[in-house]
């Protein structure tokens, strides 16, 4: 388990001020570029010294500024994998793993047994005598993770471990991290929301140096904590609206989107006249060929372009509105250009 409170100010004006806990198993650390993900992992690993804070790994205090505790990286029960972590080019895969075992001073028989176990488990035994340059990229990534696990660390910190890999290879890397997560706290940093869904693990959202939200990928996607989170996640319709009415008795509100009025749920803490951002996912909207004048909670829109995605079609309309639809539904009405987009009241959220 990781328990940490980290404060680190950089000369560039950026300040990391994050507090979080990570249990055994896999957790993803999601955030846009420059959110502070690498800095946070390096602080936990002992590669960067925080200005303030306290870090515990599996109950062991490895950093406590107030108490003067700061264990060096080599004495912390964790391994840090930098982005696209490199192997020693002059050593074979087996020698790379043996080097890690020697550094951890494992007994000789244990070293060879552990290395063989990992080479076999990660599908690398047939390439054990090969040099990194002679192995495909996904094989090198597997070897990097295997080398990190040689000494059975209590914590594994992986910084964008699937960077640059194609879909099947990315999934393979994440399957290996799940395999590594048995009895180990694995924290995987990534700038990709899709990777978080691929991992299927609880996620922490880091924005501007702070952990601003936690939950499952589905929970975070359905209810982003802020506009920054929604923008970082991508895939949301973010539309400027004005609150024109609030009715706490009926638990409803009215919003103006351009010249269109929308009925939504009641928004506590908001006032009539507030200008806010409507946040709704494309999959929550419905689109129909325009039969006539739009009615309540319908917005007229001209279809600009279509993007085919795995399992659905994304329709791009005027005003930056996007809707996702099943391919067979779109095929039946794709000759239309003028549509109406329906905004279900229960799906409307404002920020």
Distances (CA, A) of 95 to 36, 78, 83, 230: 34, 21, 22, 45
- Assess whether pLDDT exceeds 80 at residue 52: yes
- Assess whether pLDDT exceeds 80 at residue 182: no
What b-and-e string marks burial along 286-324, b requiring 16 or more CB atoms within 10 Å of the CB?
ebeebeeebeebbbbbebeeeeeeeebbbbebeeebbbb
Contact between 209 and 35 (Cβ < 8 Å): yes
For the stretch 65-119, pLDDT in tens is: 999 999 999 889 998 988 767 788 899 988 888 888 777 676 777 788 888 888 8
Q: Where are the alpha helices (DSSP H) in the chain?
A: 37-45, 93-103, 108-121, 137-148, 167-180, 193-199, 217-222, 227-233, 327-333
pLDDT for the residue 23: 92
Distance CA(165)–CA(185), nearest Å, equals: 24
Contact between 207 and 32 (Cβ < 8 Å): yes
Average pLDDT over every residue of 40-51: 95
Number of H helices, E strands in the chain: 9, 21
The pair of structure tokens assigned to 240 is 């400027």
Nearest to 91 by CA among 148, 150, 135, 137: 135
pLDDT for the residue 309: 85
pTM of the model: 0.84
Is the sign of the CA dihedral 58, 60, 62, 63 positive or negative?
A: positive
Residues 6+ away with beta carbon under 8 Å from 147: 87, 96, 97, 99, 100, 118
For the stretch 199-228, pLDDT in tens is: 889 999 999 999 999 999 999 998 999 998
Distance CA(17)–CA(40), nearest Å, equals: 9
Distance CA(287)–CA(67), nearest Å, equals: 60
Q: What are phi and psi of 133, to 5 degrees?
A: -65, -20
């Amino acid at each position: 388990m990781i328990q940490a409170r980290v404060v680190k100010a950089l000369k560039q004006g950026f300040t990391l001020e994050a507090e979080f806990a990570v249990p055994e198993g896999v957790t993803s650390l999601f955030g846009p570029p420059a959110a502070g993900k690498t800095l946070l992992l390096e602080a936990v690993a002992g590669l960067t010294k925080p200005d303030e804070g306290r870090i515990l790994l599996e109950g062991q205090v490895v950093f406590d500024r107030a108490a003067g505790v700061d264990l060096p990286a080599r004495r912390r029960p964790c391994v840090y994998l930098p982005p696209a972590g490199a192997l020693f080019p002059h050593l074979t895969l087996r020698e790379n793993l043996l080097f890690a075992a020697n550094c951890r001073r494992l007994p000789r028989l244990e070293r060879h047994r552990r290395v063989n176990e990992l080479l076999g488990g990660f599908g690398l035994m047939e390439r054990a005598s090969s040099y990194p340059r002679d192995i495909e990229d996904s094989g090198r990534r597997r070897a990097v993770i295997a080398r990190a696990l040689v000494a059975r660390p209590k914590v594994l910190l992986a910084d964008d471990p699937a960077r640059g890999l194609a879909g099947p290879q990315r999934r393979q890397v994440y399957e290996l991290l799940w395999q590594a997560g048995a009895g180990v706290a694995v924290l995987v940093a990534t700038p990709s929301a899709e990777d978080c869904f691929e991992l299927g693990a609880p996620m922490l959202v880091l924005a501007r140096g702070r952990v601003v939200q936690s939950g499952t990928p589905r929970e975070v996607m359905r209810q982003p904590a802020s506009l920054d989170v929604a923008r970082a996640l991508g895939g949301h319709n973010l539309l400027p609206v004005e609150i024109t009415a609030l009715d706490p008795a009926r638990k409803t509100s009215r919003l103006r989107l351009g010249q269109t009025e929308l009925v939504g749920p009641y928004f506590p803490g908001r006032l009539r006249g507030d200008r806010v951002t409507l946040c709704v996912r494309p999959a929550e909207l419905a689109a129909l060929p325009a039969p006539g004048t739009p009615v309540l909670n319908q917005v007229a829109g001209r279809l600009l372009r279509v993007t085919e995605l795995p399992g659905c079609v994304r329709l791009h309309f005027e005003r930056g509105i996007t809707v996702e639809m099943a391919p067979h539904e779109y095929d039946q009405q794709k000759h239309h250009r003028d549509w109406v987009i329906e905004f279900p009241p229960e799906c409307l959220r404002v920020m």
